[in-house]
Amino acid sequence: AGTPMGWYSQGSALGGVNPDLASERQTPSFSVEKLTALLDGGEENTRIRRAVVEAIESDPVFSRENQYFQSQNEKYEAAVRKAVHLQKKMHEMGWTENGPEFKYIYRALSGEVAFLLHTVFMRSISVLGSDKQITKWIPLATQYQLIGSYAQTELGHGTYLQGLETTAVFDIATQEFILNTPKISAMKWWPGDMGRSATHAVVFAQLDIQGKCYGVHPFIVQIRSLWDHSLCPGITAGDIGPKMNFDHIDNGYLMLQNVRVPRENMLSKFCEVQPDGTYVRRGSQQINYFTMTALRVALISHEAVIPLMKACTIAIRYSVVRRQSKLKPGEEEAKILDFQTQQEKLLPHVAAAYAFHFINNYLEDLFNRGYEEIQRENFDMLPELHAFSSGFKAMVTQYCASAVEACLRACGGHGYSLLSGLPSLCTRILASCIYEGENTILFLQTARFLIKCFMAASAGHPVPPSVTYLAAVKPGKCPAKNKFDFLSPDTYTEAYQHAAVRLISSTAAKLQDLIQSGVKKHDAWNECTVQLVQAVKAHCHYITVKNFAETVERLETKGGIQRIMKHLCDLFALHGIFSNAGVFLHDGYISGAQMDMVTASYLDLLAVIRKDAVPLVDAFDFTDKTLNSALGSYDGQVYQRLYEWAQKSPTNTQMNPAYERYLKPLLHKKLSKL
Amino acid sequence: MMNADLRRERAAATFQPELLTHILDGGADRTRRRKELEALVINDPDFQHEDLNFLSRSQRYEQAIRKSSLMVMKLREYGIADPEEIYWFKSFVHRGRPEPLDLHLGMFLPTLLTQATPEQQDRFFMPAWNLEIIGTYAQTEMGHGTHLRGLETTATYDPATQEFILNSPTVTSIKWWPGGLGKTSNHAIVLAQLYTQGQCKGLHAFIVPIRQLGTHEPLPGITVGDIGPKFGYDEMDNGYLKMDNFRIPRENMLMKYAQVEPDGTYVKPLSDKLTYGTMVFIRSLIVGDSARSLSRACTIAIRYSAVRHQSELKPGEPEPQILDYQTQQYKLFPLLATAYAFHFVGAYIKDTYRRISGDINEGDLSELPELHALTAGLKAFTSWAANAGIEECRMACGGHGYSRCSGIPDIYVTFTPSCTYEGENTVMMLQTARFLVKSYTQVSSGQRVTGMVSYLNDLSRQRIQPQHVAARTVTVRLNDPVSLVEAYKARAAWFVEAAAKNLEAELHRRSKEDAWNKTSVDLVQASEAHCHYVIVKLFTAKLAEISNAAVRAVLTELCLLYALYGISKNTGDFLQAGILTDAQITQVKQRVKELLAVIRPNAVALVDSFDFHDIHLGSVLGRYDGNVYENMFEWAKKSPLNKTEVHESFHKHLKPMQAKL
């Protein structure tokens, strides 16, 4: 499409593309446009996505220009303004929540918009509410007659739901629930949109009927007046204060003192309290899990993979613009990407971004299939789906969080400037390791599934397709004879499979030994948890490598796409072996001499992929406005942009109050007056 | 009132934390003095202020300047002059955070002392001491960092007027990052390429006035400002400086060593090794900083893990302290052990530096190259590990770790630039590698080497073997730190030899520089293995110096954990080098988990020993009394978003929208 400058760049007057970056784009080994289409799932999607991004970025209300200079209050206000404006925009553009454009809106806004919890509020009513409740609340919420939040987590309680302490006591006389926060650790803490915006919240509380506790249930509670936004009687609510990121979201606290809600406000699709206080349970609650699993899968792409792609784009582009030291005496200073150590820091993360993109596609397919089954009232796939979503959410967010940080550090001092865009990517992605389930706990949930399947497989029982490999335990050695053998997907996929089986089976054996020797089941489990986490990581790593290799197999050979993806797949796989050598050497599956071959092939690949590094990140197709980075823009005018942006900082545009008050007396030796 | 969980933890400790504090401080009298200084600051109403988390960048800068001004005055009033005591006082005043006068006190004044002529000292030192002159040290440029020779700023000598003409010829040459440059300083020591008589003489330092005394306005020819917001360092006005034909008198070049005579003749300095000294000193400070920052994060995470209850270990029982989960112990205790290890490494470098700098003053530079090589690697090793460790601690605190009230986000963003400043870590590792390869080459040619690399001498005896030195059958005793030091030593030797041989092989195929680059991943690994060995060795050596049996016992457990955990995280190395067998690796992993249980009862006492005052710790989660939840609520109420009950955006945006829909 001619020169892509118009699409990518904010078209500044900085003077064309930096020649150091332009030269990187001269001879890509593949078609960048084709790779972008592959990532989007087809050219048509690419077209739609670009149209959405274009529409949003050309609208000044959505501008992120001042992002790095704003206070918490200003960021919150901007997020509310954008959320309100978005309603108008969608109407104007004819975008609907079920249309093909919808999923690109969040990406185009980089997630910096309010009322995300409002969506969760609505979703939880749709899933947990009775038809009557849905008819009453959903239209109000859709019209923004009220703004909702979702209040589950408490000050003293997080991932473990049964531990929540908020109470809802049923009062038969008035047909109401009385909600209370009995002590400080029971205060709701963290829910987004709750600190300042929400008028209502779905509050999770322990249901108490005539002195008997029935466990945690959801209640719709009004917390602010619909007229003047003041807090309702019995409600104490506010903002929980500054965080590492998410300044634009008013994460809130909520304390309830004898707050009464009518009986009809308990979400009652699955459980109901009848007027006489009888508790009735109906239907399967398993569908509940499905909402949680779906949320986890959805966040992998938006909150982990896309941020990693952005960080890679910034770091790789900067690494070909930045010159530092000399590789050879007499020559000019070298691009830092020509240093082997820099390639080793960055290129495996580019490969990982692709690997995780493909595993995310795989998960989405799996979920769509699962969803169809569930529609048909078949819940067989649920345990596997749950295990998949937990394990991959944990593995991908953890990997991406450290990879984004590695990109930040690979940019030296300038990476530390907010203007690089990297610190905000970094602090934001860190939260993804905790929300929607703390990662260690999620790993252990997957571990439970794997151990169960391993036991079943060993006993000859059938297991879900993704874990049938556990049954085929074959001891043996890696057959590789030279470094080229390690470029065969079969060779490394088998190595990963072997490692996963070994770690799962040895931990299962240890668990059994402990139990047989009389250790209580729960203690035995706790004693094995460190190894279990390791085993789950190996399992997820194996599936990711296998899926990458299978994806490459299916790609069309045209346009050089398959060849470059094969290189990345090899790099991703060998990087994993190189950095976890002990796991593969442990039982001699890979020998010391073979490990040297792995290293040799791995280092060779760095030099090969180096040539395509910039086209590979260009294919992610981020606009400059999306990246919002002085280091990573398409034209590579890094230093000019850094200087221009710094001058816009309030520290330069406003007067320096510290000078008059402190520096002047200091310099003029009137210290005693301070 | 103290939280009951923490009270129980403290009662169950097997040793007295004060005794361990004395060891960390270097003696009971040092601890006493430190606490005296701490009390001076903490009880002084002048040093109190609102929680920094609620202030804007401008307000933070203003608070820092206010406190720094008072600090300088009070240091003199109290007669505090010992460098270590000044460091303590400063870190209490600023609670471990940077401040705008850091470069004035830490670089500008010392550089004047070491590099200025007596005449220049007369002119600049006293005004600077009295803060009429506030200076900074402007080295890094926008396009150039660790590689000093690449700097582009020029200082051209004009014999007609006897002046230097300073210029920033390109955008990339703009000075960028120096602390205190943006808004605070009126002078800077500027590093620039010296041109005289048409020739470039390399980098030299110049004293450059940048703002008008009196009005504080930038001087004509000077463009100066703040570089904008960063990840952390809010109170620091890191700045930019652009010079256009800015003239300074000839006498403003720092001329204790190199000189430019009035006619433009250049006189060379005697030795350039001397500049190593300052670098070694600052890098040794970073090692100590790694230890302290990681200790603070561990204190917060471990205390909070003793207070926080979550889920159930056994059905029917109350929710346990999260510190009772093996996975939580596995996250935190190795970091605790690491914090102790780094403390002892930091103390060792400081002592060695002090000893060697005595020699340097007498003209003996022989030990400097090794110390320089060692501190480069250790700076990188410890700052990488502490950086990752702080982040681990934050995540170990779950959701609340992400709130600024936990204090860990602040520790992290303040600490993380140490991985890139004062020498980017990978470059530092390669400097150490250069020394290791050089030592290896010396040994290969029959010479002996001394100091920390002396293990390379043993390699020549293994030369008959065709492969790597692997398979030297060390009998490793997993309960004996001394034996583990041997295992780490064997690993380091194996890596150094492997890297050196790969380098040699590459040298047959390509130029020296390409070969070095093609081997650099291996070389970094060799340096890491060397540093890891040095750390285990120094930790182990420390154990022998401890007289109290209870303290020695608990430190021995930590030392074992540090060493064994390191093996378990790098099993591939030990297996491939044939130092340990599969069976031993399995034992190592088992032993690590046993040690977690052994250390568990002393965990809180071990962080208490770091002896951080609550005000210094700056964390609601890490409070000494453990009253976490009440104080989180109190803290949140002060948030700027809560200043009004109804936020203005309700009237501006929400209300109109609701009316329209």
Burial B66-105 (b: 16+ CB within 10 A, else e): bbbbbbbbbbeeeebeeeebbebbbbbbbbbbbbbbbbbb
Residue predicted with more confidence, B284 or A196:
A196
pLDDT at residue B466, rounded to an integer? 41
Distance in angstroms (rounded) separating the CA atoms of residues A39 and A616: 11
Instruction: For residue B77, indicate whether it is catalytic.
Output: no
**Which amino acid belongs to residue B499?**
A
Q: Which residues of B touch A654 (CB under 8 A)?
A: 58
Give φ, ψ of A189 to 5 degrees.
Answer: -145, 130
Where does the pLDDT of residue A307 fall: very low under 50, low under 70, confident under 90, or very high at 90 and above?
very high
CB A83 within 8 A of CB A115: yes
For chains A and B, CB pairs below 8 A equal 367
Cα→Cα distances A253→A205, A243, B236, B629, B639, Å: 15, 14, 32, 12, 12
Q: Which residues of B touch A520 (CB under 8 A)?
A: 314
Query: Does residue A638 have a pLDDT over 90?
Result: yes
Distance in angstroms (rounded) separating the CA atoms of residues A664 and B214: 8
Name the A residues in 504-543 with CB < 8 Å from any B CB: 520, 522-523, 526-527, 529-531, 533
Chain-chain contact of B230 with A418 (C-beta, under 8 angstroms): yes
CB A209 within 8 A of CB A166: no
A197, closest residue in chain B (CA to CA) = B650
Please report the sign of the dihedral spanned by the C-alpha atoms of residue A485, residue A491, residue A496, residue A499: negative
Where does the pLDDT of residue A670 fall: very low under 50, low under 70, confident under 90, or very high at 90 and above?
low
pLDDT at residue A66, rounded to an integer? 85
For the domain with range B104-269, which CATH number is right: 3.40.50.150, 3.30.1310.10, 2.40.110.10, 3.30.70.1400? 2.40.110.10
Helix or strand run (H / E) with residue B175: strand B175-176
Residue-wise pLDDT for A355-376, tens only, equals 999 999 999 999 888 888 877 8
Chain B nearest CA to A345, separation (Å): 10
For the domain with range B1-43+280-445+482-644, which CATH number is right: 3.20.20.70, 3.40.630.30, 1.20.140.10, 3.40.50.720? 1.20.140.10
pLDDT at residue B350, rounded to an integer? 86
The tokens of B378 are what? 């250790």
Among B290, B386, B330, B326, CA closest to B561:
B330
CB B551 within 8 A of CB B18: no
> Any CB–CB contact under 8 A between A84 and chain B?
yes
Distance in angstroms (rounded) separating the CA atoms of residues B378 and B282: 12
Name the A residues in 319-358 with CB < 8 Å from any B CB: 322-329, 333, 338-342, 344-345
Chain-chain contact of A595 with B576 (C-beta, under 8 angstroms): yes
Place of tokens 């034909």: B245
Interface residue of A230, A424, A652 to substitute, partner B, most B CBs within 10 Å: A652
Distance in angstroms (rounded) separating the CA atoms of residues A19 and A635: 9
Work out the angle between the directed axes of helices B425-444 and A340-375 (0-180°, nearest 10). Answer: 130
What DSSP string describes B331-383?
HHHHHHHHHHHHHHHHHHHHHHHHHHHHHHHTT--TTHHHHHHHHHHHHHHHH
CB B334 within 8 A of CB B393: no
Q: Which residues of B touch A333 (CB under 8 A)?
A: 147, 150
pLDDT at residue A666, rounded to an integer? 78
Q: Which of B152, B370, B422, B506 is catalytic?
A: B422
CB A564 within 8 A of CB A612: yes
CATH 1.10.540.10 holds for A31-114: yes
The tokens of A432 are what? 């993804």
- In this prediction, residues A197-201 reach a mean pLDDT of 96
Q: Which residues of A touch B654 (CB under 8 A)?
A: 80, 84, 147, 197, 229
Where does the pLDDT of residue B471 fall: very low under 50, low under 70, confident under 90, or very high at 90 and above?
very low
Q: Residue A662 is nearest to which of B65, B132, B172, comparing CB atoms?
A: B65
Percent of chain B with pLDDT over 90: 70
Cα→Cα distances B166→A440, B187, B222, B476, B589, Å: 57, 14, 10, 62, 61
Chain-chain contact of A582 with B654 (C-beta, under 8 angstroms): no
pLDDT, mean over chain A: 91
pLDDT at residue B465, rounded to an integer? 44
> Any CB–CB contact under 8 A between A232 and chain B?
no
Among A437, A433, A439, A431, CA closest to A111:
A431
> Any CB–CB contact under 8 A between B587 and chain A?
no
Among A226, A116, A109, A15, CA closest to A626:
A109
CATH 2.40.110.10 domain residues, chain A? 146-282
CATH 1.10.540.10 domain residues, chain A? 31-114
CB A201 within 8 A of CB A194: yes
Name the B residues in 407-466 with CB < 8 Å from any A CB: 409, 413, 416-417, 419-421, 424-427, 430
Residue-wise pLDDT for B529-586, tens only, equals 999 999 999 999 999 999 999 999 999 999 999 999 999 999 999 999 999 999 999 9
- In this prediction, residues A374-395 reach a mean pLDDT of 87
- H helices of A376-438, where? 382-410, 412-415, 422-431
Extract the annotated binding site of B for FAD: 140, 179
pLDDT at residue B467, rounded to an integer? 46
Residue-wise pLDDT for A568-607, tens only, equals 999 999 999 999 999 999 999 999 999 999 999 999 999 9
3-class state of residue A259 by DSSP: strand
Chain B nearest CA to A351, separation (Å): 18
Percent of chain B with pLDDT over 70: 95
Name the A residues in 565-624 with CB < 8 Å from any B CB: 580-588, 592, 595, 603
Place of tokens 């509380």: A205
pLDDT at residue A220, rounded to an integer? 97
Helix or strand run (H / E) with residue B33: helix B28-42
pLDDT at residue A673, rounded to an integer? 45
> Any CB–CB contact under 8 A between A483 and chain B?
no
Distance in angstroms (rounded) separating the CA atoms of residues B195 and A445: 67
Chain-chain contact of B176 with A642 (C-beta, under 8 angstroms): yes
What's the whole-model pTM score? 0.82
Cβ atoms < 10 Å from Cβ of A347: 27
Residue-wise pLDDT for B58-81, tens only, equals 889 999 999 998 998 899 899 998
- In this prediction, residues A495-518 reach a mean pLDDT of 95
Q: What is chain B's percent helix, strand, coil content, to nearest 5?
A: 60, 10, 30
Residue-wise pLDDT for B378-432, tens only, equals 999 999 999 999 999 999 998 899 999 999 999 999 999 888 888 889 999 999 9
Are B1-43+280-445+482-644 and B104-269 equal in CATH topology?
no
Where does the pLDDT of residue B366 fall: very low under 50, low under 70, confident under 90, or very high at 90 and above?
confident
* Assigned fold of A146-282: Butyryl-CoA Dehydrogenase, subunit A; domain 2 (2.40.110)
pLDDT at residue A4, rounded to an integer? 47
Chain-chain contact of B426 with A338 (C-beta, under 8 angstroms): no
pLDDT at residue B469, rounded to an integer? 46
Where does the pLDDT of residue A285 fall: very low under 50, low under 70, confident under 90, or very high at 90 and above?
low
Work out the angle between the directed axes of helices A521-554 and A561-579 (0-180°, nearest 10). Answer: 150
Q: Which of A101, A303, A436, A494 is catalytic?
A: A436
Residue predicted with more confidence, A448 or A374:
A448
In A95-147, at which residue ranges do the beta strands (DSSP E only) sit? none
CATH 1.20.140.10 domain residues, chain A? 291-620
Name the B residues in 308-327 with CB < 8 Å from any A CB: 308-315, 319, 325-327
Distance in angstroms (rounded) separating the CA atoms of residues B628 and B635: 10
Question: B259-273, B454-468, B586-600: which has the highest mean pLDDT?
Answer: B586-600
ipTM value: 0.73
Distance in angstroms (rounded) separating the CA atoms of residues B629 and A183: 10
Q: Which residues of A touch B311 (CB under 8 A)?
A: 159-160, 163, 441
pLDDT at residue B461, rounded to an integer? 56
Cβ atoms < 10 Å from Cβ of A521: 12
Q: For A291-620, CATH number?
A: 1.20.140.10
Among B425, B437, B428, CA closest to B512:
B437
Residue-wise pLDDT for A341-352, tens only, equals 999 999 999 999
Residue-wise pLDDT for A599-622, tens only, equals 999 999 999 999 999 999 999 999
CB B217 within 8 A of CB B174: no
- Ordered by start, the domain boundaries in chain B are 1-43+280-445+482-644, 104-269
| Range with lowest mean pLDDT among A420-429, A459-468, B219-228, B279-288 | B279-288
